[in-house]
Amino acid sequence: MAENQGNSSNQANQGRNGFFVLGSTRTFNFQRLDFRSNSDVQNEMTAERRRQLRLSFQTQGSGLSLSNSTLSNSSDTPVRPPLSSSRPSLPVPLPTLPVRPRPTGQQEFRPDNARDTLRMCQSMQSTGKLQLTPDVVYDFTSEDLQDLGEIGRGGFGTVNKMIHRISNTVMAVKRIRSTVDEREQKQLLMDLEVVMKSNECPCIVQFYGALFKEGDCWICMELMDTSLDKFYKFIYERLNERIPECILGKITVATVKALNYLKEKLRIIHRDVKPSNILLDRRGNIKLCDFGISGQLVDSIARTRDAGCRPYMAPERIDPQRAPGYDVRSDVWSLGITLMEVATGYFPYPKWNSVFEQLYQVVQGDPPRLSPNENGNHFTMDFVNFVNTCLIKEETQRPKYNKLLEHPFIRKAEKATIDVAAYISGVLDNMANNGVTPFTTNQP
């Protein structure tokens, strides 16, 4: 009995060791049974490989060393030995890569437009050249200019009256904000380019120089005393008078000559002719300004339609179906609208409540027509014919500048001897006495 119990105990122990003995003659061997799940086995093998990787990193310091056991796959298949002696054998230390500095400050990543804007602003110097006369040139910075107050405001920024301390020269400084988008930057550069080239024309505002401060563009120009929109509104609304036709003639001659100079000499159309862009001073000068949306002529046709003040736009600019493009004759239309407004004291179209009304009235409706007797004023037939010629709706029938300069109204006005300075000075004195600022602000 004891012997049998002993044999049973041995059989039990042997069973725990992986085999069972049945009787005394036959023995059956079995592999150890593993009751773990597949995921447990996989996790254990992954942990073992990670442990070996850490050991390899520690032994190689800053380099890397990989052993064959590390490179074994999930099924514990051994790695093949090298195919030839020319190939390096493991472990192979990998080269240490240089540490690239993290971008900081203005070197950080920016979108293309922002990066281009930053590059442009960084390349612009805060010191500029100020050319007051052909022989007098100063190096100047913004510290050399004393601000005397704002005299104008527009979509790009402000216009301030400033004085150059060294030369004691008073000027108008157009300050363009640096937050303008890419399209506005191109217009800004066009403005600067045009005024730099147009100093030879006495009917265009003179350009003195430019500089850039903190990314903003400062354009220094000749200071005029008032704009035509403020001028005529004061005469009609406060003085209850009318602008004499002889003064209208001088305004017309100066404006047409300026537009013709831009076209013939610089191959540029203005595209924004309106009363606020025609300036006057006490010396009797009448000059055209603001070329921020001028465009180079391409085969005498400009194809940009989204520029300019819409109330003064020609029909072919508002309706793209009328023509494949537009040329200087669109500025002729704007000139006609401007002259009719200044001569009569009111805008020739009623106020538009929507773009659709404007489209219908300008494109579908009849063009404005000036009559000899308008709003209490009497006009000569030469002036009436000149304005109505500018307002011919069909652009192909509308004349260009060379024809306008031959018109009888232009020829008579050019030869007439008129003290324009005395007239303008008298109106400006009345404006000062009535507390009315002569400058334009908050213009559309």
Of 197, 195, 247, residue with least CA distance to 222: 195
Residue 181 a catalytic site member: no
Three-state secondary-structure class, residue 136 = strand
* CA of residue 152 relative to chain centroid, distance: 21
List CB contacts of 17: < 8 A, sequence separation 6 or more: none
Is 174 among the annotated ligand-binding positions?
A: yes
Q: How many residues does the chain have?
A: 444
For residue 167, the 8-state DSSP code is: T
Q: Is the peptide bond before 91 cis (omega within 30 degrees of 0)?
A: yes
- CA dist., res. 318 & res. 94, Å (int): 68
The two tokens of residue 365 are 């409706």
Q: Which two tokens stand for residue 437?
A: 């600022």
Please state whether 265 falls in left (phi above 0), alpha (psi between -120 and 50) or beta: alpha
Instruction: Yes or no: say if 135 and 118 are a contact pair by the CB < 8 Å rule.
Output: no
Tokens describing residue 327: 């040329």
Contact 338, 312 (CB under 8 A): yes
**Residues 160/147, Cβ–Cβ less than 8 Å:** yes
- Type of residue at 65: S
Q: Which of the residues 191, 225, 272, 281 is marked catalytic?
A: 272
> Can you tell me the distance from the alpha carbon of 434 to that of 14, in angstroms, rounded to the nearest whole number?
122
Annotated binding site: 174
Residues annotated within the binding site for ATP are 174
State the catalytic residues. Answer: 272
